[in-house]
Structure 1
Amino acid sequence: MADVSFLKDKPVAVLGAGAVGKAQAGDCALAGQKVRICDMEPYASKTLFGVDKGIRFYGQQLNLYGFNREGLAVMDKVTTSVEEAVKGAGIIIITTPSVGHRPFFEKLIPHLEDGQFVHIFPDNYGSLLLRKMMREAGCTKKVVVGGWSSSPYGSRVDIKGGVILPSIRVYYRAITLRGAALPMTDQEAFLESAKYMGSMGAVINGDGAEGGETVMDIGFSNVNPVLHCPGTILGVSTMENYGTIFGQNKYDFSIYTHAYCPSISEVQYAFYQEEVALAKAMGVGIQHFEKRQFFSRENILGPEYMGPDYEIPFEQLDEIQIGTGPFTMENRYITEDIPVGCHMYHELGKKFGVKTPVVDSMINLASAILQRDFYATGYTLDYVGMGGMDKAQILDYLHEGKLPE
């Protein structure tokens, strides 16, 4: 087993101060770690408001084993400087949506130090992009880079009257997550380093971290596209009528609680089968789910924090998800999961000869609803540094870090 015990005495840097960033930073601080949290303008003036006085970390934190932390989490440093945040840090946690990866990576790469570990939550092909940008910048620092299939939490920032408060509500904690390093030669050290992130407490003390078979496995195992895209698109009438003709509070809406139904589950399972076919054609893994797990209110999200037998029948109300949205189609459930998740599947389908009609239908419908061409703006293999490679070359790169000559 890789010895990364030196990390216990190193500060943790959290880049991004949204829901995932505040949750990770707060949890690590409550676990006794020195935490630097960083966000960049034009967002920092709002996302970092009041954080210098601490982040209130609270919520139900539902999980199978009852792991819980709460309190006022005091940061070691609050900054808009990536350089200041990562200097001397052992672990760097990237928590921004995909749209924030490139601007953060541009600031991060010049200040990387040998021996640092970069964890991306969720990965969303960020590890591939970071390695590509490091090559382009001539960066040869010996760092471990990898990503995870999801965040360790379901969390929401408290917003009142348009003001982002320095508090985070955590309504569930993952007890297992799937992660992988790029290249896979760093896998053992990467997974071991997760034990030195307080934010992984419920995972490490739960069912543990599961090693994926390359970062492409992590891309396929990210449940967001298969959950969010069919749920939001096919449930859009419920969402847009909620709080109007339905009479309820618009901001109590959740696709899990109010939109999911057996017909949407059929679409989600068909979507997943296309992911499985892509992973097989590519020669990488994917997290396994039984068909029955798609047919409940929590769908395949539930096992992440309550184990494989957790099911809420459609006849019951899913109270934990009330108020989690989305409340508009202009939401990351669409604006991130379509161009990043779905479009990458579309591109891989073309490359490996796998038909993806359900995935493509999500792109087509989202493009029509939001009146923009997600095919034109979506992630490509070129963008993440694998354009022009054949299957064998891609696998060599993912496993060994070898680039074609």
Structure 2
Amino acid sequence: MRVAIIGAGNSGLAMAAHMSFTENKVYLWNRSEDNISDLMRTRRVETTGVLVGEFELEMVTTDVEEVLSCAKVVLVTTPATSHQGLARIMAPYLTDEHIVILNPGRTFGAVDFKDELFKSGNFSNVQILETQTIIYTCRKLSQTSVNIIALKRDILISSFSGVDLDELLRRIPDELNKFYKKADSMVETSIGNVGMILHCAPMLLNTGWVESDQSFKYYREGISRTIASFIEKIDEERQEVAKLLNHPVISAKEWMRHSYNIDCETLYDCIQNNPSYEEISAPQSLSYRYIYEDIPYGLVPLESMGKDLGLPMTHTEMVINLANALLQKDFREIGRTAGKLHFDYKQLMKGVTIDELEAENTKRS
């Protein structure tokens, strides 16, 4: 099968190699040539970890039209910060035949992407899906190599209600379906986003260490019992929002136990006992996706929905305020709030589907 990979970061290289390994033809696009110049020359990705080898790509380019003309299954692996811009870039070339999967969508990324296609004048029946997280625990080593540390299991995937998700999944590579698990609602992939729980607060609470010259293991050393206990409070707020939207989600602890097949009693124990986290080093700057993606496209929409539903969101609010103060940014202003997504998510409490809300929004537009 022909697949397009959008983005050549950690998960982009991992997914490109994985799809090539499983005998799919891979067409990779990246916005900047500077980040793929070596890959354009070799068209090969070398992997270490749970997948070892060197895998050939059919195309590596900065021409999105060329990639989208070759492949109808489009796997977006960029951070959520890029979703709107990608929708604008891809809008002239996406058709009824395309399936776009955001890996991951973070919080209602599919809604945001679809909104931006409409704003860009694309009213085709492009099928847009989002996942709860990425399949891979991985780290890019160079422009042409990546370490795939682990493959997660049962990654939730969703689309707009009313869509035949089973039929869409039959149109993507079988290998992906080994890792994806169909969700009942986009709430489960969006509010089910555990990245915002594991990434934001630990980064901010370790600011001095992150900005020092000393490297440390992000999960093993950066998340102490106290920090783990604190982020469990944020996780409880996340679960409460999902519960009020009639689609409960499991805790970060339960997600980790299931995704990585580990036995643990507390979130701290899960983190410490997860062999996939053993070698992951912390970023050396706060200018990293754990902050610039997971706060505005994770915690900010979570807080806005929670408060709108009457929840105090005390711990979530605290982390956003700390990020605003430390980074001198207004993440609420730049983030993906419920209001900016142009649909009345509270109608979900009454049994109205996301698809119906989007249809109503389209009529008003």
Match of 1:134 in 2: 117
SS of 2:337's partner is: coil
Q: Distance in 1 between matches of 2:260 and 2:350?
A: 32
Match of 1:232 in 2: 203
Indicate conservation of the 8 Å contact 1:83/1:107, yes or no.
no
Which amino acid is 2:259 matched to? E
Q: Distance in 2 between matches of 1:309 and 1:57?
A: 34
SS of 1:37's partner is: strand
Note the C-alpha offset of 1:396: 3.4
Which amino acid is 1:220 matched to? I
Gaps of 5+ in 2: none
Q: CA RMSD in A?
A: 2.7
Note the C-alpha offset of 1:132: 0.9
Alpha-carbon distance change, 183 to 107 in structure 1, aligned in 2, over 3 angstroms: farther
Q: Distance in 1 between matches of 2:257 and 2:6?
A: 27
Gaps of 5+ in 1: 1-9, 62-68, 159-163, 244-249, 295-299
Aligned residues: 358
Q: Distance in 1 between matches of 2:83 and 2:345?
A: 23
Q: Does 1:403 align with 2:360?
A: yes
Indicate conservation of the 8 Å contact 2:76/2:102, yes or no.
yes
Which amino acid is 2:294 matched to? D
Which amino acid is 1:141 matched to? S
Q: Distance in 2 between matches of 1:150 and 1:39?
A: 20
TM-score between the two structures when normalised by the length of structure 2: 0.88
How high is the sequence identity, in percent, across the aligned residues? 20
Note the C-alpha offset of 1:183: 3.4
Match of 2:316 in 1: 359
361-370 or 313-322, which deviates more: 313-322
Alpha-carbon distance change, 319 to 283 in structure 1, aligned in 2, over 3 angstroms: closer
Alpha-carbon distance change, 241 to 392 in structure 1, aligned in 2, over 3 angstroms: closer
Q: Does 1:327 align with 2:284?
A: yes
Match of 1:156 in 2: 139
Q: Does 1:173 align with 2:124?
A: no
Q: Distance in 2 between matches of 1:103 and 1:316?
A: 38
SS of 1:379's partner is: coil
1:98 paired residue among 60, 74, 80: 80
Q: Distance in 2 between matches of 1:38 and 1:178?
A: 25
Note the C-alpha offset of 1:197: 5.7
Q: Distance in 2 between matches of 1:255 and 1:228?
A: 9
Q: Distance in 1 between matches of 2:36 and 2:162?
A: 34
Alpha-carbon distance change, 350 to 304 in structure 1, aligned in 2, over 3 angstroms: same
Alpha-carbon distance change, 48 to 120 in structure 1, aligned in 2, over 3 angstroms: farther
Indicate conservation of the 8 Å contact 1:223/1:301, yes or no.
no
SS of 1:50's partner is: helix
Deviation per CA, 1:45-68, whole angstroms, max 9, x where unpaired? 22343344133332322xxxxxxx
Note the C-alpha offset of 1:167: 0.7
Alignment of 1:56-75 (within 5 A): 56-61=45-50, 69-75=51-57
SS of 2:139's partner is: strand
Note the C-alpha offset of 1:367: 1.1
